Structure 1
Amino acid sequence: MTSKTEDVWLPFPAEEIEGLPDAYRYRHWDGEEEFPADPAACVFYVTPYMKSPEVTLRPLAHMPDLRVVQTLTAGIDHVLGGLDDLRPGVHLCNARGVHEASTAELALTLVLASLRGIPGMVRGQDREEWRSGFYDALADRTVLVVGYGSIGAAIEDRLAPFECARIIRVARSARTAPHGPVHALADLPGLLPQADVVILSTPLTEDTRGLAGAGFLARMRDGALLVNVARGGVVDTNSLLKEVESGRLRAALDVTDPEPLPQGHPLWHAPNVLITPHVGGSSSAFEPRAKRLVVRQLTALAAGEPLANTVLTTG
């Protein structure tokens, strides 16, 4: 039996979440300076959404009885630096199932907006300029999805009606998925020259940090579009700047390195670059899905059942 003295920290007020089990005492904390209670009583910590690693990790060293760290992001790179403060056996769970639809929508938006020249048309509207002409279509193009997890698969689902010539899938290791074969990361050098659009949706790990560097970008065909809805660190910013400033490549970036992108950074005004401020998961779809995930996880914990989305266990 769980104790009524066990706390759960939530970034949403508990009264706004239907179905929470009554086995726990709920504390609302979304990264404020003061903690809502003694962290030592916390057994289940739902991290604040889109806060800095410094904010997110601050309570961990004070949570000796913690059992679960639940992120509300698909990526976990922002919490890895605090795991050494935890006792063995703590489950780190991500938000698989929460962001797929929203991130895939944005990926498709960035592809279409970039190919059809929408940013330039918006600037033309501001100046009352009629910018007619021919623009690139997604139809008959080859798209390479790098990072074929649940988000990558959701991106392919949304690409399907657009009559792409081919969709190439790449993940850490080769396998067969419902839509077709998935290539290994090691195959990228031979696949990149085939693609008109390259979409990055891979987690940020030691293997993927700087993945889209000078060699990767050089293998992309002239005029190709790089779309990043993964993490900024997957792309080497200086290498990308050289390619877009030369006019050889185009880019659409929901994430950047550094992030937030500071004023005066050359990416802001680089030619053929579309930037959105890391809003892949920040849509109306986020909150209800995040709350349902939290309820499912806490219900499982209270019942002594396995948790979903466990990425690793400390120890």
Structure 2
Amino acid sequence: MMSAEAAEAVLTPVLHDLQAVCDFAGVRPDFAEVPDVDLLVTGWGCPPITAEVLARLPRLKAIVHTAGSVKGFVTDACWERGIAVSSAAQANALPVAEYTVAMILLSGKRVLERARDYRETKRMSVYGVPASVGNFGATVGILSASMIGRRVIELLEPYDFHVLVHDPFVTEVDGAESVSLTELFERSDVVSVHTPLLPETTGLVSRELLGLLRDDAVLINTARGAVLDQDALVAEAGRIRAVLDVTDPEVLPADHPLWHHDNVLITPHLAGSQGNEWGRLGRHAVDEVRRRVAGMPFATPVPAERRERIA
């Protein structure tokens, strides 16, 4: 149950394996003619599974989602019926974490800015580089010990960083020093945002917090655009740098000032799974279906109480 585009990207590489472990009823974009099935494999484009839909699917007992968040289509009616839900959020967390670590390292070396200057001047300097350039001993702040935030912390372990983390629901995270929200912004050379978008996190990265960042610090946002006060970032972008893989809205209007700041890199929401990385999500779905057929619990279940916090 997903769009044709999602099915082509995620299911095509694993379709033979999926057909081998279950009686595969095909791909559909909506519930108009869906047969009564035991399990749904869902993806981007899946419409809400409402009580009306469930009334036509009395056998449905499980949902395997090939992406991250399920809150857009797994309704309260599904949870009330006790349907087991699995998400590929963990599988999708890896490319986001890889992107984040890459941007931390590149921003520490000022790679994009220095490549631009090199192209313009055709001159290089090794010993004239400021001591602020480089990644040795830098402090990286992780906002939220989410699934992705924790994966970033794990991937940073081999490097010479001091890692801070702030999460109001977590006091200890392996590989990072837990600090307050203000201390995270005061002490970090790089702050990477990984908090889910909730009413209480909308606009969380505020003008006040951005003002605490030291000059030339870097803000990376791969979470949701609305977590960041973008107007405040416009005011600070001459003093700090930013890497934004998400914005609010997506896409920003053509005349938005963030497009024109040399200190701001905007990428087209590419941190999550793309290209050959779709295969990881498809493989995860097949593995979860196989477990269900074998009478085993899902490897990556979505507990009802955490459904709002899985990005």
Q: How does 1:9-158 map to 2 (within 5 A)?
A: 11=7, 12-13=11-12, 16-18=15-17, 20=19, 22-29=21-28, 35=30, 38-39=33-34, 41-49=36-44, 55-57=45-47, 63-64=53-54, 65=57, 66-76=60-70, 79=72, 83-84=75-76, 86=78, 88-124=81-117, 127=120, 129-130=122-123, 132=125, 134=129, 136-158=133-155
Structure 1 counterpart SS, 2:196: coil
What CA distance in whole angstroms lies between the structure 2 residues aligned with 1:42 and 1:181?
47
Residue 201 (structure 1) aligns with: 194
Contact 1:42 1:63 in 2 (8 A): no
What CA distance in whole angstroms lies between the structure 1 residues aligned with 2:108 and 2:188?
14
Residue 308 (structure 2) aligns with: none
Structure 2 counterpart SS, 1:209: coil
Is 2:250 the partner of 1:259? yes
Distance 1:22 1:311, change over 3 A: closer
Distance 1:217 1:57, change over 3 A: farther
Q: Which amino acid aligns with 2:75?
A: L
Q: Which amino acid aligns with 1:162?
A: Y
| Bigger fraction of residues in strand | 1
What CA distance in whole angstroms lies between the structure 2 residues aligned with 1:131 and 1:137?
16
Q: Which amino acid aligns with 2:41?
A: V
Q: Which amino acid aligns with 1:152?
A: G
1:112-144, CA deviations, whole angstroms, 9 ceiling, x for partnerless residues?
333333333444466564465526212121111
Shift of 1:283: 4.0
Is 2:175 the partner of 1:179? yes
Contact 1:124 1:131 in 2 (8 A): no
Q: Which runs of 5+ in 2 are unaligned?
A: 306-311
Distance 1:241 1:93, change over 3 A: farther
Contact 1:14 1:26 in 2 (8 A): no
Distance 1:141 1:43, change over 3 A: same
Q: How does 1:295-306 map to 2 (within 5 A)?
A: 295-306=286-297
Shift of 1:104: 1.7
What CA distance in whole angstroms lies between the structure 1 residues aligned with 2:129 and 2:253?
34
Structure 2 counterpart SS, 1:169: strand
Structure 1 counterpart SS, 2:40: strand
Shift of 1:209: 2.2
Q: Which amino acid aligns with 2:182?
A: P
1:254-283, CA deviations, whole angstroms, 9 ceiling, x for partnerless residues?
111111334232221123001111111234
What CA distance in whole angstroms lies between the structure 1 residues aligned with 2:240 and 2:21?
55
What CA distance in whole angstroms lies between the structure 2 residues aligned with 1:43 and 1:62?
17
Shift of 1:289: 1.8
Distance 1:14 1:229, change over 3 A: closer
Distance 1:128 1:46, change over 3 A: farther
What CA distance in whole angstroms lies between the structure 1 residues aligned with 2:61 and 2:225?
30
Residue 229 (structure 2) aligns with: 236
Distance 1:204 1:24, change over 3 A: farther
What CA distance in whole angstroms lies between the structure 2 residues aligned with 1:144 and 1:226?
9
Contact 1:28 1:36 in 2 (8 A): no
Contact 2:144 2:193 in 1 (8 A): yes
Contact 2:14 2:286 in 1 (8 A): no
Is 2:233 the partner of 1:274? no
TM-score, length basis structure 1: 0.78
Percent sequence identity is: 27
TM-score, length basis structure 2: 0.79
What CA distance in whole angstroms lies between the structure 1 residues aligned with 2:31 and 2:254?
35
What CA distance in whole angstroms lies between the structure 2 residues aligned with 1:265 and 1:42?
47
Shift of 1:57: 2.5
